[in-house]
Amino acid sequence: MAFLQGVIENIEDAIAVLDKKGEIIYENKKIKEISLEIRDYWVKLKKEKRPVPIKTLTTDNRHFTGWIIPRYHENEFAGAILSLTEVTDLIRVQKQLMENIRERDALLRELHHRVKNTLQLIISLINLQAQEADKNTRKAFFDIQNRIMTMAIVHEALYETGTYARIDMGKYIKRLVDNLKGQFGVQNIKFGIDCRAKFNMETSMPLALLINELLSDLLTHTSGGEIKIKTKETEEGHQLIISDKRPSIKVARGMDSFLVKALTHQLNATLREKTSEDEVKIIITFKELEYKERI
């Protein structure tokens, strides 16, 4: 008994025993250092006759967590045992981590803001240069401008997530389509977007550029109809399917371009085409890429 009392007296946890009136009848060395205010917990315990968790108790600039547990003598309520563990250092570290996260988020917001502004500046410079170029050169400038705009939209989508980790491809594709419709002056083509997937930046950027290339190629045929874009999960990973159902469509010529092949390779994806009398279906099968250390 003396041994057990010695252990309780010198343990790191703050322990007290209360009688059935809530008065302290025993307290160890640790709890004597604390200015206690546990009335609310005591009232709840006496009413409910069950252990009550003390999630946070702050006193004298110190933080504790623990339990107040009912005790019984011969099946009658006889008071409670209070047990508190100090978590001051843990709270301090937690606050420091939260401050570090806020600083990191602020830096990331600034970084993405500057990236976006830089991309917009490049787009404007290309636009100015294109005004002095001949027809073929303007077309090349237009294609470059469109690709940079695609990257800017990805960064904007990433910036809006707040986590800087995963991009909502549904929102991205909608913005991309709106941008391409303006670029190509498309009015008579319906778009259907069914995409609930979110991917990391490693996957999203090449996938976004690939979608841009394929849609840009399809929009060179502007005879009306409907283009559908959807994603789905398969046993092989993910599939992105672009269906172009228009009377004049025959084949997606952009699939053979060097850039499309390079982006497909970067994604470790497979790209195939299914054609019928009035529809071209482009199917991209891929898995989400893992981040690779670059430093």
If you average pLDDT over residues 103-107, what whole number do you get?
Answer: 81
Mean pLDDT, the chain, whole residue set: 82
> What digits encode the pLDDT tens for the residues 193-236?
998 888 888 888 889 889 888 888 888 765 667 889 999 988 88
State whether 46 and 148 are in the same domain.
Answer: no
Cβ atoms 241, 229 nearer than 8 A: yes
Enumerate residues 6+ apart whose C-beta is below 8 A from 189: 181, 219, 222, 224, 225, 226, 227, 246
User: Taken in order 110, 111, 113, 118, is the CA torsion positive or negative?
Assistant: positive
Q: Smallest Cα–Cα separation from 176: which of 144, 196, 206, 152? A: 152
State whether 197 and 159 are in the same domain.
Answer: no
Query: Which tokens in the block code for residue 51?
Result: 């252990």
Question: Does residue 63 lie within any of the structural domains?
Answer: yes
Q: Smallest Cα–Cα separation from 229: which of 250, 247, 207, 248? A: 207
Q: Which structural domain, as residue segments, surrounds residue 148? A: 90-164
State whether 153 and 105 are in the same domain.
Answer: yes
What is the separation, in whole angstroms, between the first and last Cα of the chain? 61
Domain CATH number, residue 59 = 3.30.450.20
State whether 78 and 97 are in the same domain.
Answer: no
* Residue 156 pLDDT exceeds 70: yes
**Percentage of the residues of the chain whose pLDDT score is greater than 70:** 87
User: Distance between CA 174 and CA 97 in Å, rounded?
Assistant: 36
State whether 215 and 133 are in the same domain.
Answer: no
Confidence of residue 107 (pLDDT cuts 50, 70, 90): confident
Domain CATH number, residue 203 = 3.30.565.10
Strand pairing of 62-73 and 52-59?
antiparallel
State whether 26 and 126 are in the same domain.
Answer: no
State whether 291 and 207 are in the same domain.
Answer: yes
State whether 260 and 240 are in the same domain.
Answer: yes
Question: Does residue 174 lie within any of the structural domains?
Answer: no
- Number of domains forming the structure of the chain: 3
State whether 13 and 39 are in the same domain.
Answer: yes
Question: Does residue 180 lie within any of the structural domains?
Answer: no
- Give me the pLDDT at residue 236, please: 80
State whether 249 and 289 are in the same domain.
Answer: yes
Question: Does residue 182 lie within any of the structural domains?
Answer: no
